[in-house]
Amino acid sequence: MNSLPRRTFLRQSLATAASTVALVGRGMAAPSETINAAVIGLGSRGMLLAKEAASVPGVKITWLIDPDTSHAKNGLKIAPDAKVAQDMREALDDKDVDVVIIATCNHWHCLAAIWACEAGKDVYVEKPLGHSIVEQRRLIEVSEHYKRIVQVGTQQRSDHIQEEIREYLHGEKALGEIQYIRANRYGLREPVPVAQGKCKIPSSVDYDLWCGPAEKRELTRKNLHYDWHWDWNTGNGEMGNWGVHILDDVRNVGLADKVGLPKRLLVGGGRMIWKDGGETPNVHFAYYDTGSIPVLFDLTNLPIKPGSKAAPGYMGTRSGYTVHCEGGRYSGGRGGGAAYDNDNKRIRKFSGSGGKGHMANFIDAVRQQKRSLLKADVLQGHYSSAWCELANVGYKAGGAYSKDAAIEVNRSKSSWEELVDQANERLVAHGVSLDDPKIKLSPVLELDPQSERFTGKMGEAANQHLACNYRKGFELPEVG
């Protein structure tokens, strides 16, 4: 914590020199010059990103940062000459670091990225962009102020197939007008193991740094790592895990990036069946009113029936989306999909890479110092992450479930009622239903896309969940 005053000083001094940093920083160097990278967060995802970065010609990993020293040591297998530290601020204070790659827990994403921008670094940050809508917007403002390049880890945007599918649906209108989009995440999870007593923090972990801006609390779950996803204090649940990828596809391909945020939404869900150490819903569904094309999202981590290892599906997808059109449908997900006519005959197949060139795209934008080259810039990452966070906010602000209230948002479309009925049927297979007291349902929430806040009396309770609380010493910095 001793370097916090230095960080404040650095932030203030850089505020007056931001334009100079942008013009003469190492990012403007010739393409042959080495780009020095610091990787922050070296769990499973961080290790994959480190490998991707190291494979890009001209990139050298010079710092490996993780509050868990055992994770950082694993990174030495990829970058044996890199410096190792638990505190990211050591790397941010190194003037020779050009880019920062962030794969921390979600609650660290925005603060780490903001600190990096203040230190004159360009940033690659894993999805979701942040832990709340408010901090994501702050990061956008900071990145613009310091003229930094920020790429978000929705890697499928670097897959050429995305543009082909979008052109097929919107340019050619090959399937006619789009009527609605149904997206889904049907991926099995196991219950989060509960600790016998208190969670034992590994001796290799600086727990204060690991918590950072989040509340420093005793944990009831068994495992510190990964299971933080299902804890509201540090994660965004499955909606903010896989949901970001799927809803980013919906926005990019299904809506042709014409919709930033929805205008209305209704959300339901709960944590069902499991008596475990997690908090976030394992059953979650949302209706998004975009003002044009309705978007329906359905999520479950439960199998089709007790004891089964099979996940549900919809139109051939488990983690994907289906664009329903007048003349047929497109069903797909990461790496491609297929178009079908109204007789369910496949008429075109699309195949891609899933976005393997995403890190290279980031480095190319850094070398040329052109944010316009990014496939997943910070604004698009914010919007796609925000759709998931809105669903989480709706759940937190929800009350008792009733089917009449659930389908009230759109009674004219049987597709939404069909989704609700299917969610209920899956629970009935486990001996419960949506009428269970654990299921919550939000009111229909009106959103002002400009202010990014809910409006009206119904929105007052929801607005309380739009921002996070930050521990002393890890507060969200102001811009400039």
CATH of domain 4-148: 3.40.50.720
Residue 4 pLDDT grade (very low, low, confident, very high; cuts 50, 70, 90): very low
Residue 232 backbone dihedrals phi, psi, to 5 degrees: -60, -25
Largest pairwise CA distance in the chain:
67
The pLDDT value given to residue 6: 47
Residue 453 backbone dihedrals phi, psi, to 5 degrees: -135, 155
Across the chain, what does the average pLDDT equal? 93
CATH architecture assignment, domain 160-189+238-353+378-463: 2-Layer Sandwich (3.30)
* 8 A C-beta contact, residue 374 and residue 362: yes
Note the pLDDT tens digit of each residue in 243-265.
999 999 999 999 999 999 999 99
Q: Where are the beta strands (DSSP E) in 41-147?
A: 59-65, 83-85, 99-102, 122-125
Q: Which residues contact 200 (CB under 8 A, 6 or more apart)?
A: none
Residue 318 backbone dihedrals phi, psi, to 5 degrees: -115, -45
* 8 A C-beta contact, residue 324 and residue 134: no
**Token couple for 87:** 């505190």
Q: Using CA atoms, how far apart are residues 206 and 135, in angstroms rounded to an integer?
A: 24
* 8 A C-beta contact, residue 432 and residue 439: no
The pLDDT value given to residue 480: 79
Smallest Cα–Cα separation from 127: which of 285, 224, 243, 32? Answer: 243
The pLDDT value given to residue 196: 87
Sign of CA dihedral 425, 427, 430, 431: negative
Q: Which residues contact 404 (CB under 8 A, 6 or more apart)?
A: none
Note the pLDDT tens digit of each residue in 191-247.
999 998 888 899 999 999 999 999 999 999 999 999 999 999 999 999 999 999 999
18 or 242, greater pLDDT: 242
* 8 A C-beta contact, residue 234 and residue 228: yes
Residue 412 pLDDT grade (very low, low, confident, very high; cuts 50, 70, 90): confident
Note the pLDDT tens digit of each residue in 413-467.
679 999 999 999 999 999 999 999 999 999 999 999 999 999 998 999 999 999 9
The pLDDT value given to residue 13: 46
Note the pLDDT tens digit of each residue in 464-476.
999 999 999 999 9
The pLDDT value given to residue 28: 46
368-396: average pLDDT? 98
Residue 109 backbone dihedrals phi, psi, to 5 degrees: -50, -55
Domain extents in the chain:
4-148, 160-189+238-353+378-463
50-76: average pLDDT? 96
Flag whether pLDDT at 158 surpasses 60. yes
